[in-house]
Amino acid sequence: MSELELALHRLGQELDVPEEPDLVLAVRERLEPRGRMGRRRRRWVLATAVAALALLGAALAIPEARSALLRVLSIGGERIELVDELPEVEPAESLEGTLGERVTSDEARAASGFRLHELDKAPDRVYLGERGTVWFLYGSPESPRLLVAQTPLLSVDEPALVKKLVDAGARVERVSVNGADGVFLSGEPHFLFLLDERGNVVEASARLADDVLVWDEGGVAYRLEGDLELARALELSRELR
């Protein structure tokens, strides 16, 4: 059964159509015009639903329309946009200065305003960045092995925390992360920059990013970035305590 047939089947089950009353002939004849009106209304509702589903199906069948519908994805405080071509960006030689102010782990915990989740191994460096983001860096700014970022999500109306541009060389997968909705980006590096509380680009943050797993849980946006396979990224997400 096609998706259209399934949608129509569910719609037919949800329509509340009363049974015809089992009354004497004279009363039934008096009610018959209303019954015909009800049947005509039901046929109109079904016809309208068929037309709407057909239009949607036609739009999804057209490559250009399907591409437009799937060009933007928002999750975990991040806005991911599919573009035909990435901007020309030189890979940063160091992450120093792109993540925020360097602080100690204790200073990050005191300033975060929410409970930080950490791996068993202590990070090599900690940064406090835009919108209260705490970054744990494993490795060095010149040769990072793993980045763990956590940002409080204050409201659904606030601008995205991170904006990413991906092209056809990147793979975008919807995944489940500890029961929460998430997205895993892999393949070719993607273009990333941070946004301030007004939605303006933080110019110093622009860079190319590696594989990344993003999700939000309990009012906090999480991000794991590095040279990661999906299985390893999910494993690390479970190790955050």
* The model scores a pTM over 0.75: no
What's at 197, amino acid-wise?
Answer: E
Domain boundaries, the chain: 3-65, 71-239
pLDDT at 225 over 80: yes
> What is the C-alpha separation between 226 and 144, in angstroms, rounded?
8
Conformation bin of residue 34: beta by default, left when phi > 0, alpha when psi is -120 to 50: alpha
Contact between 181 and 173 under an 8 Å Cβ cutoff? The reply is no
Instruction: Output the average pLDDT for the chain.
Output: 77
Average pLDDT for 68-94? 78
Looking at residue 197, its pLDDT comes to: 83
Looking at residue 1, its pLDDT comes to: 53
Q: What DSSP letter does each residue of 164-219 carry, written as one string?
A: EEE-TTEEEEEEEETTEEEEEEEES-EEEEEB-TTS-B-GGG-EEE-EEEEEEETT
**pLDDT one-digit tens code per residue, 139-172:** 999 999 999 999 998 776 777 888 888 888 899 9
| Three-class secondary structure of residue 153 per DSSP | coil
